[in-house]
Amino acid sequence: MRALFVDDEREFLELMEKRLSRRGIEVSTAHDGLEGVKAVEEAAAAGALPDVVVMDVRMPGMDGLEALRRMKAVAATLPVVLLTGHASLGVAVEGMDLGAFDYMLKPVAINELILKMEEAARAAG
Amino acid sequence: MGVLDSLRNLLGRGPAQPDPEALAREEALKARLRERCARFRRLLSANKAALEGMSEAEALLSGGHPFGMDAVRALGTRVGASVYQMVRELNALSGNAYPELNDAFRRVHASVEACLARREHEEDVPLILPLADIRLQHMPLVGGKMANLGEVAANVGMDVPEGFAVTVAAYERFMQHNGLRDAINQRIQSTDLESLDAVFSLSASLQQLVQGASLPPELESALEAAVADMQRRLGPDLRLALRSSAVGEDGLGVTFAGQYRSELDVLPEEACDVWKEIIASKYSVTAMSYRFQRGIPDEAAPMCVGVLSMVRAEAGGVAYSRDPVAARQGREQVTLNAVPGLPQAVVDGGMTPDVFTFSRTNPPELLERQIAVKPFRLDCAPGCAQGVRRTPLSPEEGARACINDGQALHLARLALALEEFYNEPQDVEWALEMRDGASCLVVLQSRPLSESGDTAEAGRAEPLPDSIPASAILAQGGMTVSGGAAAGPLFVARKDADMLSFPKGGILVVERAHPRWAPLLPQAAAMISETGGMAGHLASVAREYGLPALFSLPDACSLLADGGMATLDADRAVVLRGEYPELLAGHEKPRNLMQGSPVQETLRNMAEFMTPLHLLDPESPEFAPASCRSFHDITRFCHEKAVELMFGENADVDQRAGKQLKAGVKLQYWVVDMDDGFSGPVTGPIVDLRDIACEPMQALWAGMTAVPWAGPPSSGAAGFMSVVFESAMNKDLESTAPAVMAEKNFFIISSKYMILQARYGYHFCTVECLAGDNQHENFVSFQFKGGAADAQRRERRARLIAELLEAEGFRVDVRKDALFAVAEGYDKQETLLRVRILGYLLIHTRQIDMIMLEEARVAAYRAKFEQDIAGLKTK
């Protein structure tokens, strides 16, 4: 499985890269919404979209919801899981309305996250 | 058209005559089915997550475990997001048949959000309020300390320092100006507040954040103008004391004792910077742990600051109008603590003070005078840490009483007057100031006294029982600042880093009773200090937590350094080696500190829109989105409708890709593989049991066939019932036989997941199971309803099955003739064993409702069931 992680917390990204690659998941990273959208656009142009995107909501510059909107415009079936430390039901609902596969809260157990990523990838594929 | 005809039409041609069109159609149907199964499964797992969140909310409400606002918000979000998933999946499954569910969701969502919304402060609150204008009713704007001070000055006619309050509006403006609220919440939410280690680093980062922020210009100029005004009135030598005045302490027995910083001897031009430091102290480890323990959300504790002219104290201390510890022992008295210089040494617990006790009569009579040897005094000194200088006292100076009896009497009267005014015992911080050669008593603050946590009867301090040898005494004496007794390992803490290795349930031993130890108290069984008195902040917190505490115990750190198991009996002021249950008896556990706290109230309000279930009867016209008043109602509706869509009369699953199960002969079960439930590709309309790779299904099947079924109980109806009944074991009922009553038994499976929707005669049941390597996800649930007999017999059968399942670790809920049972959190093998037991019961409890009124036969059946279940476990 190939996953794109979009998050402004670099430590979190490093941790995910380390822990997920150990389980055979190929992780690429982006540090804010805009960078994430660019990554998706480039992947779409190359015909190699990731299997799943895991994205933070609150990020400087372009936030996760706006990035989600733009990603869906590029690749409507791309599964995006929102993963945030900011608990807000309003944001969760907005995200799901924009087509997010699910909304999860940090901190998340790594196994739970992987199950969700697999489920999202399966649902799309 | 019957089920079988449909299946034959669809799939019956077999691989021998491949028809590309039919194959393509089949493929498309399978793809559609896979998608629907995945949606259904997501709906079920969202259902489970939502129900789990609801029971978590109930558990939090009933338990005494502390939780923060972030946990409440996360819970609301998690449950709400899961419910919304269900709404989404149901509408996708049903072709958007229930658009009004979205309205129902938004309605409940809005109610939940309203509970979570922060209480905003009114816009027109001034940033600064002069003390002369402050009264008690301003408490929400200026905090408890300043509101009381204003009231005391205006209506009790006591001397207080001059000054003003920087209000809650200033605090809010500052937070808003710098975008601090979100930044802070985000960091708090991603921290485990129960881990002291994590709280330490969170505290550092939050204080840095606050101190690095800038004051909004309008606040800066208002503060500077107010200080300049004071300077004009009081002269150029003006020094300030900036004291925190927390909002939210009233009405909960919450004291915030010593939680926040005060800064003394501040130069007027430093006021703005120091104000920020005090705001930052809101995020000290001590204060954050305390709020967490007491269920006070960050945003419910805005910080106000009192800016007061500095009192040049000759002596100072604390007065208790009614000594809580003495009161516990049956003595009614006023107790005064006094130290030379600033009263800080009393509240910080750093010194054993002079103690005066008075009767609570009018006039008060001096009962006792204990003059301690004070090793130093604290005075204002600009440039020193917190504006305070420490001057050593000679033994001679130190042994002198720091106030005379007349001043003490004056103070006792004042404390009683304050109690009378507030109509409850007061804790008064005071200072003696020389003004023009005469001593003047100044009230620095007055607040309600926190009660001693242990509500034991008076006069408990009896001698030690004879069973306890004198040799067990490790230390004796000191001052009981919070009563009770507790046992635990002794732990001497000397520096902050020691906090991290403090053992849960230990007895904390420290040299100085400084408030910085407060974060350890929730984990401690008891505490002991070499210094400090009843009036210290740490003593207040210990009483608040109901923690036995003995202070001013000389040489405690060296006497108790060995770290062994010990018992502190604070009432008898003795520390014993070992554990003495006879001393501990009768001391109740500390009270539930969350009770009535703002966090708990928020959760309670929110739970009102989450957990109650109003939609009970699917047949009723009320069973509709418009009637949904809680998240639970919505989940119930979605679940019911989804099951109906997948399996009900008009369901489309049976006509699509279900494969008929064959175990030797073809059976009345259809199997739908949603993922990897078959061991290989299965072509054609039949799947052999041997090709089923779903472990839960195999386990269920093993249970169903483990013990041959003897047939329905003989009764008048048996002739009819035996026709209705079709068994997995009954070889006479092959699928080619015309179905007397159409059975709809379906498995949806993957390798580790199974849901069975079955109808045995008149009984409808659902078995669902997930059994994988991830233990915390595993569960097996069982629901059934119905039967052929009358309601009474059906209910009795439901209760019999409930009892059998409860014995096997299921949580069971019986409502009339419906039963819901779930066992979760077991490892894979344990989960599968429970599935086998369910399989057995599924087959063997059918139709016993017919005999449920015949007690002897019920007993015989019960005995047989229990014996057979025991047999299943040994296999």
Of the residues B56, B84, B101, B195, the best mutation for testing chain A's interface (the one with the most A CB atoms within 10 Å of its CB) is B84
Q: Which amino acid is at B450?
A: S
Cis-peptide, bond into residue B236, ω within 30° of zero: no
B852 in Cβ contact with B789 (< 8 Å):
yes
Residues β-bridged to residue B479: B551
**Amino acid, res. B867:** Q
Cite the beta strand spans of B449-600 per DSSP E: 473-476, 479-482, 485-492, 507-510, 526-529, 549-551, 565-569, 574-577
CA A75 to chain centre: 13
Per-residue pLDDT, B33: 74
Amino acid at B410: H
Residues B755 and B677 sit within 8 Å (Cβ to Cβ): no
Q: Which residue of A has its CA nearest to B73?
A: A87
Give the predicted TM-score (pTM) of the model.
0.59
- From residue B1, alpha-carbon distances to B78, B737, B747 in Å are 44, 15, 22
Contact B802, B812 (CB under 8 A): yes
Q: Do B100 and B116 contact (CB within 8 A), yes or no? A: no
Q: How far apart are CA B825 and CA B777, in angstroms?
A: 6
In single-letter form, the type of residue at position B604 comes to R
Long-range CB contact pairs, B762-769, < 8 A, 24+: B762/B724, B762/B786, B762/B787, B762/B788, B763/B787, B763/B846, B765/B842, B766/B643, B767/B700, B767/B835, B767/B838, B767/B842, B768/B44, B769/B696, B769/B699, B769/B700, B769/B831, B769/B835
pLDDT confidence of residue B198:
85
Q: B257 or A7: which carries more pLDDT confidence? A: A7
Tell me the shortest Cα–Cα distance from B70 to chain A, in angstroms: 8
Cβ proximity of B439 and B423 under 8 Å: no
Mean pLDDT per 10-residue segment, chain B (875 residues): 40 51 76 80 84 81 74 90 95 93 94 77 76 85 87 86 93 90 82 81 91 93 94 89 77 58 86 92 86 78 90 90 83 92 79 91 92 88 71 90 93 92 87 85 83 41 79 88 90 86 91 85 90 80 85 90 88 90 71 70 90 81 92 91 71 58 85 84 86 96 87 50 36 31 69 83 77 83 73 81 91 76 89 95 80 81 92 84
What is residue B252's three-state secondary structure? coil
B822 three-class SS: strand
* Residue in A58, A103, A106 nearest the CB of B81: A103
Residues B462, B465, B469, B473: is their CA dihedral positive or negative? negative
Neighbouring CB atoms inside 10 A of B43's CB total 27
Q: Can you say whether the dihedral through the CA atoms of B623, B624, B628, B634 is positive or negative?
A: positive
Tell me how far apart the alpha carbons of residues B457 and A73 are, in angstroms, rounded to a whole number.
Answer: 72
- Please state, in angstroms and rounded to a whole number, the distance separating the CA atoms of residues B142 and B578: 49
pLDDT tens figures, B185-240: 888 877 877 778 888 889 999 999 999 999 999 999 999 999 999 999 988 888 89
Residue B571 has φ and ψ, to the nearest 5°, of: -65, -40
Sign of CA dihedral B379, B340, B161, B135: positive
The neighbour count for residue B351, using CB atoms within 10 Å, is 27
Q: How far apart are CA B455 and CA B463, in angstroms?
A: 20
Which residues lie closer than 8 Å to B840 by C-beta, 6 or more apart?
B703, B704, B706, B707, B868, B869, B872
Q: Is the peptide bond before A107 cis (omega within 30 degrees of 0)?
A: yes
B45: closest CA among B81, B93, B86, B87?
Answer: B86
Contact B825, B804 (CB under 8 A): no
**Cβ atoms B307, B536 nearer than 8 A:** no
Q: Return the residue of A nearest to B80 by Cα.
A: A89
Of A102, A105, A123, which has the smallest distance from its Cβ to B77's Cβ? A105
* Inter-CA distances, B673 with B668, B687, B745, Å: 16, 10, 14
Indicate which of A77, A89, A108, A112 best probes the interface with B, i.e. most B CBs within 10 Å of its own CB.
A89
Indicate yes or no: CB of B774 within 8 angstroms of CB of A111. Answer: yes
Please answer whether residues B141 and B169 qualify as being in contact, where contact means their C-beta atoms are separated by less than 8 angstroms. Answer: yes
User: How many Cα atoms sit within 13 Å of B830 on the Cβ side?
Assistant: 14
| Residue numbers in A near B73 (CB within 8 A) | 87-88
CA B656 to chain centre: 48
CB contact under 8 A, B73 and A88: yes
Contacts of A85 in chain B (CB under 8 A): 186, 189-190
**Tokens 């109930």 -> residue:** B58
Q: Which residue of B has its CA nearest to A88?
A: B77
Q: What's residue B539's pLDDT?
A: 85
**Which pair of tokens denotes residue A68?**
């989600």
Residue B156 near residue B417, CB atoms below 8 Å: yes
* d(CA A58, nearest CA chain B) in Å: 9
> Within 13 Å of residue B300, how many CA atoms lie on the same side as its CB?
22
**Cα→Cα distances B419→B423, B431, B446, B539, B653, Å:** 5, 18, 9, 20, 76
- DSSP category for residue B334: E
Residue B502 per-residue DSSP state: P
Q: Which of B80, B185, B186 sits opposite A89 (nearest CB)?
A: B80
Neighbours of A40 (CB within 10 A): 25
Give the single-character DSSP code of B329.
T
Q: Which positions 768-797 of B are in contact with A (Cβ < 8 Å)?
A: 774, 777
Nearest chain B alpha carbon to A122: B38
Residue A2 exposed, middle or buried by CB count within 10 Å (0-12, 13-18, 19+): middle
Residue A105 pairs in a beta bridge with A84
Beta bridge partners of B488: B566
Q: Which helix (H) or strand (E) holds B830?
A: helix B828-844
**Which residues, in sequence order, are CB contacts of B500 under 8 Å at separation 6+?**
B196, B197, B200
Q: Which sign, positive or negative, has the C-alpha torsion B790, B791, B792, B798?
A: positive
Beta bridge partners of B767: B756, B782
Pairing type for strands B665-673 and B745-749 reads parallel
Q: Say what angle helices B100-116 and B631-647 make with each other, to 10 degrees.
A: 150
Beta strands in B321-453 (DSSP E): 333-340, 354-359, 366-370, 376-380, 388-392, 426-435, 438-448
What stretches of B631-739 show up as alpha helix (H) in DSSP? 631-647, 695-706, 718-724
Within 10 angstroms of residue B103's Cβ, the number of other Cβ atoms is 13
A interface with B, Cβ–Cβ < 8 A, is 58, 85-90, 92-93, 96, 102-103, 105-107, 111, 115, 119, 122-123
> How does pLDDT run across A78-102, given as a tens digit for each residue?
999 999 887 788 899 999 999 999 9
List the single residue in A87, A93, A123 with the smallest CB-CB distance to B189: A87
Q: Which residues of B touch A115 (CB under 8 A)?
A: 774, 777
Whether chain A has a CB inside 8 Å of the CB on B189: the answer is yes
Distance, in Å, from the CA atom of B134 to the CA atom of B251, rounded to the nearest integer, reads 19
Between A52 and B726, residue with greater pLDDT: A52
Assess contact for B372 and B454: CB atoms under 8 A: no
Q: Could you report the per-residue pLDDT of B230-273, keeping only the tens digit for each?
A: 999 988 888 899 988 877 654 445 555 566 778 888 889 999 99
CA B111 and chain centroid, separation: 21
CA neighbor of B601 nearest in space, from B116, B110, B6: B116
Distance from C-alpha of B425 to C-alpha of B16, rounded to nearest angstrom:
95
Q: Which residue of A has its CA nearest to B75?
A: A87
User: DSSP letters along B12-75, please?
Assistant: TTTTTS--HHHHHHHHHHHHHHHHHHHHHHHHHHHHHHHHHHHHHHHHHHHS-----HHHHHHH
Separation of alpha carbons B434 and B415, rounded Å? 20
